[in-house]
Amino acid sequence: MNATKHDAQPATAGWHNRRASLLLAGSAITVLFAVMAIGWGSFRIPAADAAAILWKRVGGMEISGNWPASWETVILDIRLPRVILAALVGAALAAAGAVYQGLFRNPLADPYLIGVSSGAGLGATIAIAFGLQLGWSGLGAVSLLAFGGALSSTTLVYLLSRVGGRTSVATLLLAGIALSSLLSAMTTFLMFRAQDAFRTVHVMGWLMGSFALANWTKAVLMAVVLALGGAVIWSHGHRLNVLQLDEEQAHQLGIPVAWTQLVLIVAASLITATAVSVSGVVGFVGLIVPHAVRLVWGPDFRFLIPMGALCGAMFTMMADGLARTLLSPSELPVGVVTAFCGAPFFLYLLRRRRNLAW
């Protein structure tokens, strides 16, 4: 027995070391992706020059280069906040997608399943269709109403799913689908009712997602919310693992199921609502990325959540870079690119790994 115990300790340490090494490597690759993405756009800036400009500003070092002075303004004031916001939104959607897939024990679940996107879409549509002019702390009416709509719809879905003081996961899912359909119908009605074609196009563009209006205010807000919500989600990784059994067994193992579900739903919905409010509805990230990470590295949520966040950040930065360059100087909605890039890769993974039992 002693030999078995001592053998288990090195095995556990090796497991943690491998996972830590993968996360460090993923973090380094994410930073490399960010530096490369800063150079993408209507005109290309070499990655070496972009890195030098960033190092000059962040490191405070005197670095001379042959680049035009306008490059520093473009990188620091336009492209850097956009790339950072894209990375944060991708990380948030991937982490939230992992949570919902775990809670529902369904690999097809995504962050928009319980009404976040439809509520945000209705709020943004109201702001755009009626030309509302309001702001708070650097955020405009579209972002504010989208955030309010997302949180309101999620709260309503949760309250509707409460039966006898308990929340049924199946009822939560059904309530989310029903309310999403209703809110999407209301959004469509407002789009058809709008007399200004430009506003209708604006709504359609927002519903497909874009980082064209990124700024430092949105990036900082997203970073703060993701740090708080992500910490809560990551700290519940072990409980999510236990919840993959069933609720009765989780209770027997000492997991407060109802409280855990509530905390995870609130945290995941909060980071998703913030992501949608600052970027619009960016599809596929919360569905594809956590599922791809699960297929490649396994279902342990203690590792799946942080690695999924890193992969989501890289995926969204890449998609935004393609959205800026494919039809330059025009831009594609980033949701179009995530669908074109993500769906074939997802199907490839499914083809390789046919044993997909949850």
Domain ranges of the chain: 14-352
Q: Could you give the CA distance from residue 313 to residue 164 in angstroms, rounded to a whole number?
A: 40
Say how far apart CA 134 and CA 127 lie, in whole Å.
Answer: 9
pLDDT digits (tens, 9 = 90+) for 240-296: 998 888 777 777 777 888 888 889 999 999 999 999 999 999 988 998 899 889 888
Determine the pLDDT at residue 7: 47
Distance CA 121, CA 280 (A): 8
Do residues 253 and 305 touch, judged by C-beta distance below 8 A?
Answer: no
Looking at domain 14-352, its CATH superfamily turns out to be ABC transporter involved in vitamin B12 uptake, BtuC (1.10.3470.10)
The neighbour count for residue 86, using CB atoms within 10 Å, is: 30
In the chain, which ranges are E strands? Answer: 135-136, 139-140, 162-163, 166-167
Asked if pLDDT for residue 226 goes beyond 60, the answer is yes
Q: Which helix (H) or strand (E) covers residue 166, if one does?
A: strand 166-167
**Within 10 A of 326 (CB to CB), how many other CB atoms are there?**
13
pTM exceeds 0.85, yes or no: yes
Q: What is the pLDDT of residues 284-337, one digit of tens each?
A: 899 889 988 988 888 899 999 999 999 999 999 999 999 988 887 788 899 999
Distance, CA of 96 to CA of 101 (rounded, Å): 9
Beta partners for residue 223, in sequence order: none
The residue whose two tokens read 């596929």 is: 284
Handedness of CA 118, 120, 126, 131 (dihedral sign): negative
Strand partners, 140: 135
